[in-house]
């Protein structure tokens, strides 16, 4: 059995659940919030998604690693095949690790990549039983132990956004539509989508005071952790939504715009992390399959009178987007840019840029 060639480690959950696995990543202890993702593919994108900062990720698909890890090609000053510069998960848990990988674009194995980045990974875990446990108990703290015990770590108490966002302004493109992008942990594919249009994307830190800057449209990115911690962003947005410029927020950006408008957020029991989350566009019979990664949600009933629900999750009825009834402000909890996952809602980027162009040329 291949397990004989791998070192054992213990996965311990805060409810006392103890599981033994085999290390195929860095042999170092790790702690964080344990969550699961039901996607069948896309581990390079998921592992580099800044929204996973502070979390131990469980992949429910049984066999992982068979297509390896792509090379680090760069385009527009970003990694073309990853969502950020490095892995953000605190650890990875899977059922079976494919020792042999094959793909035309693979440059190394998943094991090599994890070790290179210092991220522990365990296989040989019954991820089906573990996921059922998380669904029953809710997302909880967990830790991986090799030799010496370590304390649990609650990432939701930290300002994770400050750890993953850029520290200074970065400009992409030279288009005529200037998009101010508030980086709360933005995925590269969001920037790639915006650059497909006639845009200049101005990426600034989450707490940057952009209010006196010259721009045509405002975009607020995805990111990790509790949205209420981003007080500076909420304060700036509360001023922006009083204006008439188009605003588009995705994931954490959706939550921050909602908080700035006066709504409330809450923590989901175990979050939405997958490629197959169905959402309904309110006022229509249009349903879309979406890619999602979030642990918090907007409480729709707390939206002010001049805001309305735009999308609703068909699995649990949670809010998946809001719109202002008069202003050009809209948000989605899901990821229209996917990467990985379905691109059914990618048209929303075009809608945003069209609104930006109309506002600029008013």
CATH of the domain at 231: 3.40.50.880
The single residue listed with the structure tokens 């290179």 is 116
Q: What is the CATH number of the domain that holds 25?
A: 3.50.30.20
pTM to 2 decimals?
0.97
Using one digit for the tens of pLDDT, what is the confidence trace for 68-92? 999 999 988 899 999 999 999 999 9
Same domain, yes or no: 148 and 19:
yes
Tell me, yes or no, whether 125 and 270 share the same domain.
Answer: no
Going by pLDDT thresholds of 50, 70 and 90, the confidence category of residue 362 is confident
* pLDDT value, residue 20: 98
Q: Are 224 and 296 in contact (CB under 8 A)?
A: no
| Ordered alpha helix ranges (H), the chain | 43-47, 110-117, 127-137, 160-164, 188-195, 231-240, 252-261, 347-360
With a pLDDT cut of 90, the percent of the chain lying above it is: 97
Question: What pLDDT, on a 0 to 100 scale, did the predictor assign at position 152?
Answer: 98
| Beta strands at 8-13 and 140-145: parallel, antiparallel or unpaired | antiparallel
Domain that holds residue 121: 2-157
User: What's the rounded Cα separation, in Å, for the pair 216 and 219?
Assistant: 10
Give 27's pLDDT tier (boundaries 50, 70, 90): very high
Same domain for 199 and 123, yes or no, is no
Q: Interhelix angle for 188-195 vs 347-360, to 10°?
A: 50
Neighbours of 79 (CB within 10 A): 19
What share of the chain in percent tops pLDDT 70? Answer: 100
Number of domains in the chain: 2
What pLDDT does 1 receive? 56
Cis peptide before 323 (omega within 30 of 0): no
Phi, psi at residue 117, to the nearest 5°? -95, 0
pLDDT tens for 225-282 read: 999 999 999 999 999 999 999 999 999 999 999 999 999 999 999 999 999 999 999 9
Q: Which residues are catalytic?
A: 251, 335, 337
């Amino acid at each position: 059995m291949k397990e004989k060639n791998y070192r054992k480690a213990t996965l311990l959950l805060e409810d006392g659940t103890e599981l033994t696995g085999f290390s195929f990543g860095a042999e170092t202890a790790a702690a964080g919030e344990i969550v699961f993702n039901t996607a069948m593919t896309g581990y390079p994108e998921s592992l580099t998604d800044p929204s996973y900062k502070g979390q131990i990720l469980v992949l429910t698909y049984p066999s992982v690693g068979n297509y390896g890890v792509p090379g680090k090609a760069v385009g527009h000053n970003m990694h073309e095949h990853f969502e950020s510069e490095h892995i953000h998960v605190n650890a990875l848990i899977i059922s079976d690790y494919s020792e042999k990988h094959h793909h035309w674009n693979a440059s190394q194995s998943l094991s090599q990549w994890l070790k290179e980045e210092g991220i522990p990974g365990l296989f040989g875990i019954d991820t089906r039983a573990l996921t059922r446990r998380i669904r029953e108990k809710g997302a909880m703290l967990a830790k991986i132990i090799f030799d010496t015990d370590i304390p649990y770590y609650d990432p939701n108490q930290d300002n994770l956004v400050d750890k993953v966002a850029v520290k200074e302004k970065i400009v992409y493109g030279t288009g005529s539509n200037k998009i101010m992008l508030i980086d709360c942990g933005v995925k590269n594919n969001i920037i790639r989508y915006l650059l497909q249009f006639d845009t200049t994307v101005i990426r600034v830190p989450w707490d940057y005071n952009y209010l006196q800057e010259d721009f045509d449209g405002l975009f607020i990115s995805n990111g990790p952790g509790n949205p209420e911690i981003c007080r500076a962003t909420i304060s700036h947005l509360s001023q922006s939504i009083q204006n008439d410029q188009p605003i588009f927020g995705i994931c954490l950006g959706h939550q921050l715009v909602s908080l700035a408008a006066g709504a409330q957020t809450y923590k989901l029991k175990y979050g939405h992390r997958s490629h197959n989350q169905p959402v309904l566009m309110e006022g229509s019979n249009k349903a879309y399959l979406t890619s999602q990664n979030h642990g918090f949600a907007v409480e729709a009933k707390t939206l002010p009178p001049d805001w309305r629900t735009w999308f609703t999750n068909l699995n649990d009825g949670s809010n998946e987007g809001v719109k202002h009834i008069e202003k050009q402000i809209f948000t989605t909890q899901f990821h229209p840019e996917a990467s990985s996952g379905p691109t059914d809602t990618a048209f929303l980027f075009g809608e945003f840029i069209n609104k930006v162009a109309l506002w600029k040329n008013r």
